[in-house]
Amino acid sequence: VFSIKSYSALNLYSCSLKNEDLKEMLESNKESLKLEAMKRIVGLIAKGKNASELFPAVVKNVASKNIELKKLVYVYLVRYAEEQQDLALLSISTFQRALKDPNQLIRASALRVLSSIRVPIIVPIMMLAIKEAATDLSPYVRKTAAHAIQKLYSLDPEQKEHLIEVIDKLLKDKSTLVAGSVVMAFEEVCPDRIDLIHKNYRKLCNLLVDVEEWGQVVIITMLTRYARTQFLSPWREDALFDENSEKAFYDSDVEKEKADSKPYMMDPDHRLLLRNTKPLLQSRNTAVVMAVAQLYWHLAPKQEVSIVTKSLVRLLRSHREVQYIVLQNIATMSIQRKGMFEPFLKSFYVRSTDATHIKTLKLEILTNLATEANISTILREFQTYVKSQDKQFAATTIQAIGRCATNISEITDTCLNGLVLLLSNRDETVVAECVVVIKKLLQTQPSQHSDIIKHMAKLLDNITVPMARASILWLIGEYCERVPKIAPDVLRKVAKSFTSEEDIVKLQTLNLAAKLYLTNSKQTKLLTQYILNLGKYDQNYDIRDRTRFLRQLIVPNEKSGALSKYAKRILLASKPAPVLESAFKDRDRFQLGTLSHTLNAKASGYLELSDWPTVAPDQSVRNVEVMEPQSLERQPSTRGSDLFAYHLLVLLCSDSDDAKEKKRPKPKLDSVSSHSKASSSSDNTASSGSESEEDTDSDSEPEQKKKKKLRTALCEFQAAPSIRVSSPVFVPPKSHELLHRMSGKGLAVSYHFPRQPCAYSHRMVSVQLTLTNGRDQPLEDICVGEAGPPGIAIHRFATIERLQPEASITVSMGIDFNDSTQAANFQLCTKTDQFSVSIQPAVGELLMPVTMTEQDFLKEQGQLTGMNESSVTITIAPDSMSSQPVGRKVVSVANMGVVPSSQNSIHRFAAKTVSSGSLVLSSVVLQEASTAKLVVNTEKTVLGSVLLRELKTALSQG
């Protein structure tokens, strides 16, 4: 019933329905009902409603087959596990099982959920899972492991040491998928362990372009910190923060060079970082651009920093919030380096539609950028702003004008006149702000401006803003000797309104009275006393205090001490002019782009940027001894182009066998050497392919070309476009006896299939013979004699002239078995004897592994049906139910390549017969109750059925 109704309709009355219904639905055996229930529960969670009582009913569905249901259960579990710890434990075993799943995505998602369950009791399980996942073959699982590290650390900080070990291991990872996540874990768990970075520094720099954008931000931020501890300052000390005047900059350079005979040489690693981050300025991600900009700001030589300007200005086109952060950072930068942003002055012009905080920041930057050359342009622009309807903004503009006026002395008069004109403005906030700014300006050069002071005195009648009134009173008091006629009159006016004034105005009235009393007591004695009396009984104790103090100071009586003698000097001392500074003056103590910089306060978890070291630290710590050749994913130049590498990568990832390092050596090394050859050739095609696109006919496709080249690189195997011969996944070390020591009269021979392309002919299987002389005298002239049967061709090994006693020698030969398991018979001859021997190949050795996509596999399989398909349902050994054993067993029996599979229960393998190059496909579909369906598709039906039999035997064994 429920399933028919749409979810949103249900949502409406979900509140009225009791959770009981949900419980029932969850316990029903209809999947759709369960799903409906989970959807409603997620709706409750999203609204912030409590759904924790459903925990037991929900947790039962954790192993559901329905992916969406399962995902929703995960959402629920992660949300409530902390509150329902005991019940949450019920789900753990499901995840533990999934951690062993053949499908990497399932392993990853199991780890992701397991590590998100914040239940302290499972810490050891999590630790184990993380350690295992960190060595997983799939980079995606390793990435998830890196994320899990932070989760475990926040759950149990005691695990720190163990986690650092895992971080150390993952930092060595060469996958671009992992890099960002592990650096994030590093920053969170052990940001002080700079030593872990040394060996990985160059790799991180080189990987950077190919890492996903979020990882880039984290890595760049970390590397900025790293570089500040490891490299010498590229900044000349005496030019450190002052290059507003270019001349001084170069002059000091010359001096510096004279003084310091050793010129500064930038560490190549330092240069590497700068070079590799520069392209990221073109990222579409604003956070990446900002990260690079701050890196250049903190690390680059001064003359290089300006390359970030254009990109930062570009970000101003982005959303309001992005503008806000970027403008803040530009404000800090522009204080120290006007030159960087001066050409972009107009980008900071204010639009009437900007938000207030954006306007304020733009104004700040325009003020910082003001120079003698551009001030007239800026002032003209400011005049427009002053008239803005946003009066608060107009007031801020007036402050900005004041700052320009003090900074550039040439324009002080112009500004002052302009501001005086504004005093007649109708808006009070504007006028008040003007008064305050004029007061500050006049303080710098009071001598010439008694007119302005008179003007201001007149304004007092109209202005009501307390700050402005107070400023006028202070101004008149301070310069009362310049306006001797007006000052007493002003005092008279404020005396009248004293009781109704704001506190700040009252204080300045007292101040004015005291000053006038000292300079002009004849006219103001009575007024002052009147005001002092009013102040004495004021409600505010500050005013009462001030009154008492001033009275003692200025009115001489017998009790007054020595101070009153100096009253005039105390009150009328010349005062230094206030300095009008940018609010961003000291922001540069924080690393740019950080939250702390935005807040202008240290945020929790902020990591200080250290000063440059005075002595260069050891550069060799970053040397990496052995460069492993298998850096497949890492090709910054051909970003996104290298599909070939991708396929190999998949092959390696799904290589089910060598989860353990120690099993790797042999097959790995082989595959690696051919990979590096192939990848370098594909590298060429990636770059040359693009060039050749123009000079050849237009249908030619780089992708195919790449493959063509690749094929030539790999012994020219015939292959369909999307099917490529790959290196063996696994080479069984097992060798077979060819000739026993007893029957060979002391000569013992064993053979082994190295699963390598045969050097003599591509139709031949290569076989390695190991001959050992068990006699006490040397054997001479060992060679291959007659061979048969007729269909089988043999490439003989070169005659061994002499084999010393107890010595052994390995030779290789090629045999074309003609795709049959018929034995190859031949004679082994020595100088004296002849022995008939035969090599019977296992069917699996007649194959060459190939790699192809899943789609191609299915397509090919579709064409090889009917007669060409043989299948059998087998009972599989219980331990083979996961992918690792299945894959291992198949590849140990047959030399096949692993085809990536999107389903975890299906394993696919592909190969070609060596002799005729026919395709051989095999798939294992795991079913319930430890059965599996085994299918082999090939044109070579005989070979197919033999292979089927062998695989069956192998898979059913425990």
Partner 1 sequence: MIHSLFLVNSSGDIFLEKHWKSVVSRSVCDYFFEAQERASEPENVPPVIPTPHHYLISVLRHRIYFVAVIQSEVPPLFVIEFLHRVVDTFQDYFGVCTEAAIKDNVVVVYELLEEMLDNGFPLATESNILKELIKPPTILRTVVNTITGSTNVGEQLPTGQLSVVPWRRTGVKYTNNEAYFDVVEEIDAIIDKSGSTITAEIQGVIDACVKLSGMPDLTLSFMNPRLLDDVSFHPCVRFKRWEAERILSFIPPDGNFRLLSYHVSSQNLVAIPVYVKHNITFREGSSQGRFELTLGPKQTMGKAVESVLVSSQLPRGVLNVNLNPSQGTYTFDPVTKLLSWDVGKINPQKLPSLKGSMSLQAGASKPDENPTINIQFKIQQMAISGLKVNRLDMYGEKYKPFKGIKYMTKAGKFQVRT
Q: In this complex, which beta carbon is closest to partner 1, that of residue 865 or of residue 903?
A: 903
Residue 698 interacts with partner 1 (CB under 8 A)? yes
| Least distance between partner 1 and beta carbon 684 (Å) | 14
CA-wise closest residue to 446 among 572, 621, 333, 263: 572
Q: Please select the residue that binds partner 1; options are 233, 285, 412, 930, rule is CB under 8 A.
A: 285
Residue 317 interacts with partner 1 (CB under 8 A)? yes
Task: Write the binding mask 350 to 379 for partner 1: x where contact by CB under 8 A, - elsewhere.
Answer: -xxx-xxx----------------------
| Least distance between partner 1 and beta carbon 112 (Å) | 6
Residues in the interface with partner 1 (CB under 8 A) total 132
CA-wise closest residue to 140 among 648, 901, 650: 650
Q: Are 712 and 911 in contact (CB under 8 A)?
A: no
- Applying the rule CB under 8 A, the residues between 138 and 167 that interact with partner 1 are 138-140, 144, 147, 150-151, 154
Give the side-chain half-sphere CA count within 13 A for 946: 18
Rounded Cα distance, 368 and 387, in Å: 21
- Applying the rule CB under 8 A, the residues between 4 and 33 that interact with partner 1 are 4-8, 11, 30-32
Q: In this complex, which beta carbon is closest to partner 1, that of residue 493 or of residue 859?
A: 859
Give the side-chain half-sphere CA count within 13 A for 521: 7
Count the neighbouring beta carbons within 10 Å of the beta carbon of residue 795. Answer: 17
Residue 820 interacts with partner 1 (CB under 8 A)? no
Which residues are CB-neighbours of 114 under 8 A, at least 6 positions away?
Answer: 92, 95, 96, 99, 122, 125, 126, 129, 148
- Applying the rule CB under 8 A, the residues between 839 and 878 that interact with partner 1 are 853, 855
Rounded Cα distance, 160 and 145, in Å: 15
Residue 696 interacts with partner 1 (CB under 8 A)? no
- Applying the rule CB under 8 A, the residues between 66 and 95 that interact with partner 1 are 66-69, 71-72, 74-75, 79, 82
Q: In this complex, which beta carbon is closest to partner 1, that of residue 286 or of residue 528?
A: 286
Task: Write the binding mask 878 to 917 for partner 1: x where contact by CB under 8 A, - elsewhere.
Answer: ----------------------x-xx--------------
| Least distance between partner 1 and beta carbon 140 (Å) | 5
Sign of the four-CA dihedral 869, 872, 877, 879: positive
**Segment contacting partner 1 (CB under 8 A): 175-183, 225-233, 249-257, 669-677?**
175-183
Q: Please select the residue that binds partner 1; options are 27, 28, 45, 174, rule is CB under 8 A.
A: 45
Among left, alpha and beta (phi > 0; psi -120 to 50; other), residue 111 is alpha
CA angle 463, 466, 469 (to 5 degrees): 55
Q: Please select the residue that binds partner 1; options are 63, 105, 232, 239, rule is CB under 8 A.
A: 105
Q: Please select the residue that binds partner 1; options are 703, 833, 856, 869, rule is CB under 8 A.
A: 703
Q: In this complex, which beta carbon is closest to partner 1, that of residue 27 or of residue 213?
A: 213
- Applying the rule CB under 8 A, the residues between 599 and 618 that interact with partner 1 are 599, 601, 603-607
Residue 939 interacts with partner 1 (CB under 8 A)? no
- Pairing between β-strand 747-752 and β-strand 736-739 as defined by DSSP bridges: antiparallel
Residue 701 interacts with partner 1 (CB under 8 A)? yes
Q: How far is CA 48 from CA 55, 82, 375, 441, 675, in A?
A: 16, 16, 55, 56, 53
923 - beta bridge partners?
908, 935
- Applying the rule CB under 8 A, the residues between 194 and 253 that interact with partner 1 are 209-210, 212-214, 217, 221
| Least distance between partner 1 and beta carbon 314 (Å) | 5
Residue 415 interacts with partner 1 (CB under 8 A)? no
CA-wise closest residue to 639 among 323, 271, 282: 282
| Least distance between partner 1 and beta carbon 5 (Å) | 7
Q: How far is CA 266 from CA 233, 278, 692, in A?
A: 9, 17, 38
Q: In this complex, which beta carbon is closest to partner 1, that of residue 59 or of residue 532?
A: 59
DSSP state string for 99-117: TT-SSHHHHHHHHHHHHH-
| Least distance between partner 1 and beta carbon 639 (Å) | 6
Residue 389 interacts with partner 1 (CB under 8 A)? yes
Cβ burial, residue 882 (10 Å; 0-12/13-18/19+): middle
Q: In this complex, which beta carbon is closest to partner 1, that of residue 446 or of residue 702?
A: 702
User: Which of the 8 DSSP states describes residue 911?
Assistant: E
Residue 342 interacts with partner 1 (CB under 8 A)? no
Q: Please select the residue that binds partner 1; options are 445, 540, 673, 700, rule is CB under 8 A.
A: 700
CA-wise closest residue to 819 among 952, 949, 939, 948: 939
**Segment contacting partner 1 (CB under 8 A): 333-341, 646-654, 823-831, 950-958?**
646-654
- Applying the rule CB under 8 A, the residues between 427 and 446 that interact with partner 1 are 427
Rounded Cα distance, 357 and 430, in Å: 18
- Applying the rule CB under 8 A, the residues between 544 and 573 that interact with partner 1 are none
Within 796-941, strands assigned E span 800-803, 808-816, 824-829, 834-839, 847-851, 869-875, 897-899, 906-913, 919-926, 931-938
* Backbone phi and psi for residue 286, each to the nearest 5 degrees, phi listed first: -65, -30
CA-wise closest residue to 337 among 377, 381, 378, 301: 301
Residue 589 interacts with partner 1 (CB under 8 A)? no
- Applying the rule CB under 8 A, the residues between 626 and 645 that interact with partner 1 are 633, 637-643, 645
| Least distance between partner 1 and beta carbon 334 (Å) | 18
